[in-house]
Structure 1
Amino acid sequence: MTVEQTAARPVGRRRDPERDAAIVQATLDVLAETGYEGMTVDMVASRAKAGKATLYRRWPSKAHLVVGAIASLTETNVTLSDVPDSGSFTADLATMKKASGHSNIGLKMQILAGLTPSLASDPELAAIIREQLIAPRTTLMRGLLLRAVERGEIAPDRDLDALALIVPSMMFYRCAVLGQPVTLESHQSLIDEILLPAVGLRP
């Protein structure tokens, strides 16, 4: 092998999807057993039969590890470009749901609700949740709403930032405050009975 070929080889090992999946599952298991405050990276490494250095190469902190595990439960990284303009806000919403995947939405919200007591005492955790879980979702919803405004479906004087937060905020309230499960049906009900009337549309 020439010097040039040696230099061109990637440094380090490639990520193993099966290894990542085992770590994510171990994270969720330990989190369910101990809560966020009681959980340690050592516990997860031991449960996943992985070195702690392996975890830190993938996730730089416990907060990143937990948020990464939660994010893996349901949604793929869907952006506005993944939702073709159908000409209808309700049709765009349906496409977004199909692209994102919501099979474990209740479990995800339940875990997030369980982290609520830790948000005030762990600013890093709160910041990562806002950045990686909340912001992408609300940015996508705001993009769909803006599209509808530009099509003339929604009045231009609506507060799009507030509207984009309606569904995720009410799902979290339902789970964390009321103690009620979040299901696909309850999620759709929030869209049909709250979001669409708020923007002046019918289901």
Structure 2
Amino acid sequence: MSTRAATAAARRSRITPERELELYRAVLDLLREGGYEAVTMEGVAARTKCGKATLYRQWKTKPRLVTAALAKSRRPLFGDIDTGTLPGDLRAAAEAVAGRRGRDTELMEAVGQAYLHHPDLREALRETVIAPEVAAVDEMLHRAVERGEVDAANPALGWVAPCLLGVLRVERLFEDRFAGRDPLPELLDAVLLPALGLPPAS
């Protein structure tokens, strides 16, 4: 292919931000309607009248496309939190989780099931969606250590992110225990903050 032809082909396949959002909406709609198995490159291409080759060129694989759509559709939970104290940061993190709870249940259920059974999706989600949230929590903890609030050798530091994010995954398994209650503030005051040597946030 000549240089001119290659340039023209690249121009034709370039995806605008508006077009990208349209493609992401199609992915999320397919997830809600039929779960992860219902999402195919062919299905997204047909629904959006986009060339399948363009999807592969832009995202390479289905898991990459799905995780990109999920990342674009949600604001980070913890990225903007900085209250000046670790108890304040963790309380704000708990409130952020509570604010997200119950939104788009069908989508979260579909992704949660697929996460268990598709290692390629699991790897992509960890990289694109989960790792930034863990990094934001770890940054809260780093600031607390720098301020002298928490000892850097405290073993509980490594459990804060797993606890905060883990509650999102297992809360429904214990819904009878937590009926009518928000478990995260209790987790903070009864478990995490004492383990970190800090007073309750409330």
TM-score for both structures, normalised by structure 2: 0.72
1:140 and 2:140 are equivalent in the alignment: no
- Letter of the structure 1 residue corresponding to residue 35 of structure 2: G
Is 1:76–1:101's contact at 8 Å kept on the other side of the alignment? no
Q: What is the number of residues matched between the two proteins?
A: 184
- Letter of the structure 2 residue corresponding to residue 142 of structure 1: D
Distance 2:86 2:66 in 1: 33
| Alpha-carbon distance, 1:132 to partner | 1.4
Distance 1:77 1:159 in 2: 21
- 5+ residue gaps, structure 2, are none
Distance 2:68 2:50 in 1: 17
1:166 and 2:163 are equivalent in the alignment: yes
- Letter of the structure 2 residue corresponding to residue 119 of structure 1: Y
Instruction: Name the stretch that deviates more: 154-163 or 122-131.
Output: 154-163
Distance 1:144 1:36 in 2: 33
Number of the residue aligned with 1:194: 187
1:132-191 CA-partner distances (Å, limit 9, x unpaired)? 11111111101111211232223441322211121111012125x4579xxxx94xx61x
1:52-101 CA-partner distances (Å, limit 9, x unpaired)? 1222232111111111111122225976xx666x5312444578799x99
Superposed CA RMSD in Å reads 3.6
Structure 1 residues 68 and 178, CA, compared in 2 at 3 Å: closer, same or farther? farther
Number of the residue aligned with 1:125: 121
Is 1:67–1:129's contact at 8 Å kept on the other side of the alignment? yes
| Matched-pair identity in % | 31
Number of the residue aligned with 2:84: 87
Number of the residue aligned with 2:32: 32
Is 2:42–2:52's contact at 8 Å kept on the other side of the alignment? yes
1:66 and 2:66 are equivalent in the alignment: yes
1:106-132 CA-partner distances (Å, limit 9, x unpaired)? 436753432333334321111111111
Moved over 4 A (4+): 76-79, 90-98, 100-105
What SS does the aligned partner of 1:201 have?
coil
Structure 1 residues 89 and 150, CA, compared in 2 at 3 Å: closer, same or farther? same
Structure 1 residues 178 and 78, CA, compared in 2 at 3 Å: closer, same or farther? closer
Structure 1 residues 124 and 53, CA, compared in 2 at 3 Å: closer, same or farther? same
Distance 1:178 1:91 in 2: 26
1:149 and 2:145 are equivalent in the alignment: yes
TM-score for both structures, normalised by structure 1: 0.71
Which of the pair has the greater relative contact order for Cα pairs under 8 Å at 6+ separation? 2
What SS does the aligned partner of 2:103 have?
helix
